Structure 1
Amino acid sequence: MTVYAEHLIAQHELNFGKVFSQQYVLSKEASFAVTSFAPHTLQNDWVLHVGRGLEMALATDRRAGISVAVLGLAVDANGFFIDTPHLQLLLDRAKSPGALADTLEMAAGRYIFVITAPDFNRVYLDPSAMIPAVYNRETGRVAATLYLAIDDAPVIEREYSLAENAGSGGGARLAFGYTPDARVRRVMANHYFDLDAQQTVRHWPKADCDWRMEVTEHGIRERLDRVVQRHKQVMKPLISRQSPSILPITGGADSRLLLAFAKELWGDIDLFCVHANNANTRRDSGIAAQLADIAGLDLVRYNLRKDKSLQKRPKLIRRVDISERIAEGMIGDPEPQGPLKILERLALPAGGVLIRGQVTSISKAVWWRQIGINEFKRTQGTEQSAKIGVKLLMLNNPPMTSDSFYLDHYDAWVQTIPTGARCRALDLMGLEHFYSHGTGPLFSGFYHNFYMSSSCDRLIIENLSQIPPQLRADFYVNDLLMEATAPELRDVEYTRAIDNEIRVRRAPLAEAIAQIKGPQ
C-alpha cells in the first residue's frame, strides 16, 4: 500500500523524506508503511508514522494500557518543554486518559497529541491546528495533509461548491472541516478526533466558560499581565532548546509584540532578520532597523535582488514550489508562487524554529473587521448573525452570504460553541477556519524551518479574546502590552499608515472604556 503522496513525489522526482519531513500518519491498516517515516506502535494496535523532521515525545503505561505521543513543540501550563521524560511524568501523574488530555490541551506551541487507551482513543490539536489533521472516512486513517490520507487521485468534493477552486489555489476558501477530497475531512482546532467513533468533538472552550468581561482598565491590565507572563514562560524553552532560533522583525504589529515578549531572551536568539526586496519590504526593513537599533540587536537584512549568493536557478525554485504545494495538499495545477517568497524562505539557515505572530493578531481583533465590531456594539456583545459570520469568512468573492448551505453550516458551527463564548465566535472563527484550513497546511509545506506561533496557547487566546474587540482594533491592547514589556519600542511607527492613524485619532483609553456599558 502506497500513499498518493509517494506517487506524486516520484512523478516529480522529488525527495519524499525532505518534503514530508514535518508530517505524520496514524493508521491501523495492515502492512501500512510510509517511505522514510519512523513507525511507533501505540496501544490498541494504532501505529504512528512520523517524518524525520518532526519532534516526538512518547510515553506508555503498559499496566493501564495507555500510550501518549506528542508531535511538534509544546510547553505545558507550568512552562516545561514536553519531551519524553516530562511526558512520562505527566502520564504517571494523570488519574485517567481524560485527565491527561485536560493537562496536555493547555500546552502552548505547535503540536498534536494522540492518546490510545481502553475506551479512549483520540487525536488532539494545538489551539489553531498549526500541525493539521485530516481523516479518511473510508479507511480511518489520520494524517497531517491530504495526500498522506489517500492512496489514489483525489475525488473532488462537490457538496462544498467551492472545494475544487479553494483546493487548487483559485481564490476561494475551505471551511467547516471540508477538504478538496470527498472522502477526507479536516479536524478543526479545539476539536478532538475520536478514533473509535470516527467523528470530531469540540473540547474547548469549556462548557462553563464566560468570555464576557466587566470592562475596566484594571480588568484589562489583569488579563494582559497573564498574557505577558505566559508568553515569557512559553518562549524561554522554545528558544533555548531549538537552534537556530529565528525571530523576523518587521514594521508590523505582531512581530513587534513578539520582540517585546522575548526581551529577556534577546541574547539567546540566534537570528533577527528582515527582507528588503521591494518598496514595501524596504520600508518594513527601515522600521525593523530602527527597532533593532533601539534594542541593541544585530539585524540581518536580506536583499534577494542585490545579493547574488541568495539567488537560485529557476528550475530549483520551481521544484520547491511544486514540493510545497504537494506537501500542503493542493490539487490540480495551482498558479506558481512568486519566486521572491520562496527565496525568502530559502535564504534563512535551515532547521530550528522560526517564531511567527499569527495567533498574536487576536490582540488587534483582525477577524472582526469593522462590520463585526459595529454589530458587536449594536448588540452589546451578543452573538453575530450567520450572514455577518459568512461574510467575514471571505469564502469567495462575492461572499456566499445568500447561500443556505454556507449559512446553515456557519450556524451549526456556532451552536457547538458554549454559550459563554459565542460572543467571541469571530475570534474562534479565525482559529478554527482560517488557520485550521489555511495556515496549518501551509506551514506543513514549509519544511526548510519549523514555523510556529508562541501565542498559540489557550490561556493567551482566552484572555485576549475577553477584551471587547473595539478596544483591540484601536491598538489599546497592543500599546498596553508594549508598555508592560518593551516601552522603548512602543512609539516607533508601523509600516501600515492606518495603524499609525488609529493610534493618533483614538480617544483616551478611559473614554473608550466609559462608552462600554455592562459586561460584554
Structure 2
Amino acid sequence: MKRRVCTAEVVCNKNGWDFSEAFPFQFRVSKARTAPCEQWMHFKLGDWHLHHCPRLPRHELGFGNGKVLGVVLGVAVDREGRSLNGRMSLEGKGSLAALEDYIEGLAGRFVVLVAAYGATRIYFDATAGLSAVYSKKDRAVASSVHVAINREAEPETGITSRAVLAREGQYLLGETYDRHCRRVYANHYLDLKTFDMHRHWLGAEDDFAAVGEDRNGVAAEIAARLQQVMVTLAASHSTALPLSAGTDSRLLLAAAAPVLDRIERFYMHDIYKVTRFDREGAQLLAREMGVTLEVIDREDPEFESFMTPDEVAELRVKMAFRTGLSFDGIDEVTVRAVSRAPETTLVLRGNGAEMTRANKWTRAMAAQGCTLDDALAALLNMRAEHLPDRVAPDRLESLRARYAAWHDGLPEPARARMPDVAHAELFMPAAPNNVYYAFERNFYINPFNDRRLMFLTAAFNPLARKRNKLVGKLIHNTTPQLNGLPYAAELKQAHRRAA
C-alpha cells in the first residue's frame, strides 16, 4: 500500500476524487520521497524533495555549466525580458548573493527552491503569487494546508474557516485553517533548516520618497517594464486577457499593445446587474484596440446547462480544500462564470496594479500619514475606528502584535509606504493569490507582479495616485488613446443622466 504523505489524500479518498484533478497547480516540498499523487512530477535538491502538478512548469538555475543550485516552479520573466524555459545558466561569479539578486529580478508567479552555498531556502515572487504555507510541525512547505499537513488539522482559534468561507473575515498575518501551518510573507525567504522566515528584499537603500520625486521618470520606467513582461508572456505562452471598465485591465491592455495579435482571447463576465457597465467599458476598449471580445453572459442558455447544480456544489467543495478552506467560489453564478473562461495556458490578471490607485490609502492617510492601527485596518479593508467593533478583542490584540512585529522588520525608508508594502507582502499572499488555487481551468498570473514595479508604484506619491495621476501617465506612455475612454463610474453617471 502506498504510504500517505498528506491529508489531501484523505480528502480525495473520502470524496472519491482524483488527486491530480482535485489539486491542480499545487506543490509540496518535504524530505518525503513519496509523492502525494502518482501523476505529479518530482525533483530532488539537496535533502529536499519537490513534488508538483505537471501543469506547473519547472526550471533549473545554475551558474555557467555548473550544477543545479535552484529550481523555479511556475512562470517567470527575468530582468532582461527572457521567459524562463528549462535550464537558465546565470552569468558571472556564482554566489548566494548573486543567485538571490537574480531571483529578486523575476516577475511572474513562482516559488524557488534553493540548495546552494550552505543555504537551503524557498523564495517567493514579489507578492507570493504562487502562495504557500509551511508547517514546522510537519516539516513541509506546500501550496495549501491539506497538501502540507499529514495529520488531523488543529483549527486556528482566532477566526473560523466558516467565517472566512462566508466572507465575514479572512486569514491574515500568517493565519491559516491549521494553527501550526503558517502563510508565507512575500519578500521573505523560508529557511528550511529552521523553518523561520527572513526578509531578503527592501533595504535601507530602497528610499521610496526619494525615488518618487521624479514622477515622470517613475511612470516611464513602470510602463516600460510592464510592457516588457506583457510582451514576453504573450510571446511565450497561450494567453487570455479579461477586460472590464476598471483600471487594472486597461493598464494591461495598454501595455500589451505591441502584441495584441499574440493574445489568443479577450473576454469579460456579464453576470450581475453591475457588470453591464464592465461589458460596456470592455466593448469600448476592444473596439478601440481592434480585438474581438467574448462575453460570458449569464443570460446565455448554456450558462446554466453546462454544469448541473450538483456539479457546481461539488466544485465549490474542491475550491474550498484547494485554498485551505478560505474560498469556495462566492456563489453558484461566479463559479459558473469562472468555469467558462477561455481555455488558454495563462490568464493575465491585473492584481497588484490596484496599487497604482493607492488602494490601501485613504486621502487622510495620504495627506497626514498613518498609525499602525490605520495600516492594520486598511489591511482588513476597514477604518481604524471600526476595529474594536468588528474584530474580536483577543484576535485584535494578536493581529496588532503580529502587525507590529512585521512593521519592526521594515527598513526605515519603507515605513513611509507601510500600507503599500503590507498590501503586497501580507494581503495578497493570503487573499487574491491564494484564491487563484481555486481555479482549475487556467494558470492565473499577474504581469504586474514584479519587485521593481511594486517599488516604483509605491514610490509615487500616494495622494497623487488617489487622484489617478499615475494611471494616466502609465497609459499615456504606452497607448494614450485609451485615456479618453470612460471608466465604470463615468458610464454609471452617463446612464443616470440618461434615465
The answer to whether TM tops 0.5 is yes
Q: Deviations 1:236-290 (Å, cap 9, x if unpaired)? A: 12111212x1001100011111110111111111011112233211221111111
The 5 Å alignment of 1:33-44 reads 33-43=36-46
Displacement, 1:94?
A: 4.8
Find 1:448's aligned residue among 426, 432, 441.
441
Q: How does 1:404-483 map to 2 (within 5 A)?
A: 404-483=397-476
2:256 is matched with which residue: 248, 252, 262?
A: 262
Alpha-carbon displacement from aligned partner over 1:348-373 (angstroms, at most 9, x marks no partner): 232410011111111000011x2xx4
Aligned to 2:378: 392
Deviation at 1:474, TM superposition (A): 0.8
Aligned to 1:378: 368
CA deviations over 1:417-474 (Å, ceiling 9, x no partner): 1111110010011112221111222111212111111000011111111011110011
**Unaligned segments of structure 1, at least 5 residues:** 502-520
Distance 1:209 1:336 in 2: 38
2:280 matched residue in structure 1: 286
Residue among 273, 279, 289 paired with 1:295: 289
- The C-alpha deviation readout for 1:181-222, integer Å capped at 9, x for no partner, is 122112111110001121000111123221113765xx1110
Decide whether aligned partners of structure 1 residues 335 and 154 sit closer, same or farther in structure 2, where only a CA change above 3 A counts: same
Q: In the alignment, residue 149 of structure 2 is paired with which amino acid?
A: I
Quote the offset at 1:494 in angstroms.
1.0
Q: What residue number does 1:518 align with? A: none
Asked if 1 retains the 8 angstrom alpha-carbon contact of 2:78 and 2:84, the reply is: yes
1:271 maps onto 2:265 in alignment = yes
Tell me the SS of whatever aligns to 2:189. Answer: strand
2:477 equivalent in structure 1: 484
Note closer, same or farther for the CA distance 1:359–1:413 as it changes in structure 2 (3 Å cut). Answer: same
1:167-194 alpha-carbon deviations (Å, 9 max, x no partner) = 5445112222121212211211111000
Q: How does 1:78-97 map to 2 (within 5 A)?
A: 78-85=80-87, 87=88, 89-90=89-90, 93-97=92-96
Residue 185 (1) aligns with residue 149 (2)? no
Equivalent residue runs for 1:17-416 within 5 Å? 17-29=20-32, 31=34, 33-43=36-46, 45-59=47-61, 66-85=68-87, 87=88, 89-90=89-90, 93-158=92-157, 161-164=158-161, 167-213=164-210, 219-243=214-238, 245-308=239-302, 311=305, 312-330=307-325, 337-368=330-361, 370=362, 373-379=363-369, 384-394=370-380, 398-400=389-391, 403-416=396-409
The 1:98/1:303 distance shift into structure 2, 3 A limit, reads same
- Which shifted more, 59-68 or 141-150? 59-68
CA 37–269 in structure 1, closer or farther in 2 if over 3 Å, else same = same
Q: Which residue identity does 1:450 align to in structure 2?
A: F
1:108-156 superposed Cα distances (whole Å, 9 cap, x missing partner):
0111111112421110111111101211111211111101111233101
Given that residues 212 and 456 in structure 2 are in contact (C-alpha distance below 8 angstroms), is that contact kept between their aligned partners in structure 1?
Answer: no
Secondary structure of 2:484 counterpart: coil
CA RMSD between the two structures: 2.4
Cα displacement (A) at 1:164: 4.3
CA contact (8 A) 1:94 1:100 kept: no
Tell me the amino acid that sits aligned with residue 179 of structure 2.
A
Distance 2:35 2:443 in 1: 27
CA contact (8 A) 1:173 1:395 kept: no
Query: Structure 2 CA distance, aligned partners of 1:35 and 1:318?
Result: 27
- CA displacement, residues 391-417 of structure 1 (integer Å, 9 cap, x when unaligned): 212278744497432222211111111
Point out 4+ residue stretches in structure 1 off by more than 6 angstroms.
61-65, 498-501
Contact 2:113/2:122, CA 8 A, preserved across alignment: yes
Mapped to 1, the partners of 2:72 and 2:492 lie a distance apart of: 39
Q: Give 2:341's aligned amino acid.
A: L
Partner of 2:130, secondary structure, is coil
Contact 1:166–1:174 (Cα < 8 Å) also in 2: no
- Normalised to the residue count of structure 2, the TM-score between the two structures is 0.91
Alpha-carbon distance in structure 2 between the residues aligned to 1:210 and 1:145: 35
**Contact 1:122 1:192 survives alignment (8 Å):** yes
Superposed displacement of residue 229, structure 1: 0.8
Aligned residue among 12, 15, 21 for 1:12: 15
Give, in angstroms, the shift of residue 341 of structure 1. 1.0
Q: Which amino acid aligns with 2:277?
A: R
8 Å contact kept, 1:9–1:16: yes
* Structure 1 CA distance for aligned equivalents of residues 117 and 144 of structure 2: 27
Moved more, 289-298 or 223-232: 289-298
Residue 490 of structure 1 aligns to a residue in which SS? Answer: helix
Residues 63 and 301 of structure 1, relative CA distance in 2, 3 Å threshold: closer
Whether the aligned pair in 2 keeps the contact of 1:134 and 1:142 (CA below 8 Å) is yes
8 Å CA contact retained: 1:65, 1:117: no
Pick which of 438-447 and 192-201 moved more: 438-447
Alignment coverage as a number of residue pairs: 483
| Closer, same or farther: CA 94–309 of 1 in aligned 2, 3 Å | farther
Supply the AA of the counterpart residue of 2:308: R
Distance across 1 between alignment mates of 2:173 and 2:51: 27
Q: SS at 1:185's partner residue?
A: strand
Distance 1:465 1:498 in 2: 29
SS at 1:72's partner residue?
strand
